[in-house]
Amino acid sequence: MAVKIRLQRHGKKNFAFFHIVVADSRAPRDGRFIEQLGSYNPNTNPATIILNSERALAWLKVGAEPTLTARRILSYEGVMLRHHLDGGVAKGALTEAQADAKWNEWKTQRDAKVEAKKSGIKAAAIEARKAAKAEETKVNEARAEALAKKAADLAAAKAAEAAAAEAPAEEAPAGEAAEAPAEA
Per-residue pLDDT of the chain (184 residues; tens, 9 = 90+): 689 999 999 999 999 999 999 999 888 888 888 999 999 999 988 889 999 999 999 999 999 999 999 999 999 999 999 999 999 999 988 898 999 999 899 999 999 998 999 899 999 999 999 999 999 999 999 999 999 998 888 888 888 888 888 876 555 555 555 555 555 4
How many CB atoms are located within 10 Å of the residue 49 CB?
17
SS3 109: helix
Please check whether the domain covering 3-66 is classified as CATH 3.30.465.10. no
Q: Which residues, 6 or more positions from 56, have their beta carbon under 8 angstroms from its beta carbon?
A: 5, 20, 37, 38, 74, 77, 79
pLDDT of residue 46: 85
DSSP string, 27-76: S-TTS--SEEEEEEETTSSSPEEEE-HHHHHHHHHTTPEEPHHHHHHHHH
- As a whole number of angstroms, the distance between CA 139 and CA 26 comes to 61
Domain ranges of the chain: 3-66
CB 36 within 8 A of CB 20: yes
- As a whole number of angstroms, the distance between CA 157 and CA 163 comes to 10
CA dihedral (138, 139, 140, 146) positive or negative: positive
